Structure 1
Amino acid sequence: MRDERRSGCPINLAVELLGDKWSLVVVRDMMFGNRRHFRELLHNSEEGIASNILAARLQRLARNGLLSKAADPTHRQKVIYSLTEPAIQLVPVMAHLGAWGRRHLPVTRDLAIRAELLERGGPELWDAFMDELREQHLGIPRPAGSESVFGRLRAACEAELARE
């Protein structure tokens, strides 16, 4: 983290790292959209992040240990970003933020369905999703026979979009 901390309060430190306008959105898109390349993150951003802001956030998140980056074996000029264990452990935080937003803010149904499923699934679903993210991003196999939480979330979002 940065050398200039306002205090050692854990909430303050987390806000200093994640409290800007874009950091959690980038983590969200990697976590729930499986977007791993700069171009995917840029062009599939619902909120329309600018390329210079995205580059700065990716660099900052990597510098602070929430992302790692490696050369993409399919293309010499590309890198692939991965969530690290500390970022994966943000799943419960994201679930709580989504649940709070659904209750108190004017969300759209199609974008709120994932938050609803995460809230209903609770810690058991969050743990399964973190295991799946560990497999996708860290190469750690998840328990055999585990249902894909990512697939469930995506299918629910697609079903909601089809209803409109």
Structure 2
Amino acid sequence: PLLAYQADPIRESVKRLGRKWTLLILRDMAFLKLNRFGQILRNNPGLTPRVLSRRFDEMEEEGLVERLEREDTVRYRLTDRGEDAVFILLAFLRYGIRHRGGDGR
């Protein structure tokens, strides 16, 4: 490998954020201010309750989100680490806007 050190920050970031749906869940929480399981599920056709539950567990374990339980409702909020990931989403947004249409420019 060309990278001379084990702790490759890009590899580690992709490992944390690269699972299917993770960035879209972060997008919904950061940009759309969705914070409930059902809201995020409805906003992402094809995402199943089982996968969303798994992703929330993983994201909580990684310190990206915090689960907030009050009475009979559960909400999720981005932690500081989750907020830091928003800059990655902004880069994707910029790239998507600039290169939409796939014309190679």
Structure 1 length normalisation: TM-score?
Answer: 0.55
SS at match of 2:76: strand
Paired residue total: 97
Higher helix proportion (structure 1 or 2) = 1
Quick check: which has more Rg, 1 or 2? 1
Q: Unmatched 5+ residue regions in structure 2?
A: 1-5
1:5-154 correspondence to structure 2 within 5 Å: 7-45=6-44, 47-72=45-70, 75-76=71-72, 78-106=73-101
Q: Which of the pair has the greater relative contact order for Cα pairs under 8 Å at 6+ separation? A: 2
Q: Deviations over 1:135-157 (max 9, x none)?
A: xxxxxxxxxxxxxxxxxxxxxxx
CA-CA distance at 1:97 after TM superposition: 0.9
Higher strand proportion (structure 1 or 2) = 2
SS at match of 1:80: strand
Q: Deviations over 1:117-139 (max 9, x none)?
A: xxxxxxxxxxxxxxxxxxxxxxx
Structure 2 length normalisation: TM-score?
Answer: 0.83
For the aligned residues, what is the CA RMSD? 1.7
SS at match of 1:68: strand
Partner AA of 2:51 in structure 1: I
CA-CA distance at 1:90 after TM superposition: 1.9
Q: Unmatched 5+ residue regions in structure 1?
A: 1-6, 108-164
Q: Deviations over 1:52-76 (max 9, x none)?
A: 111110110001100001113xx42
**Distance in 2 (alpha carbons) for counterparts of 1:18 and 1:81:** 17
Identity %: 29
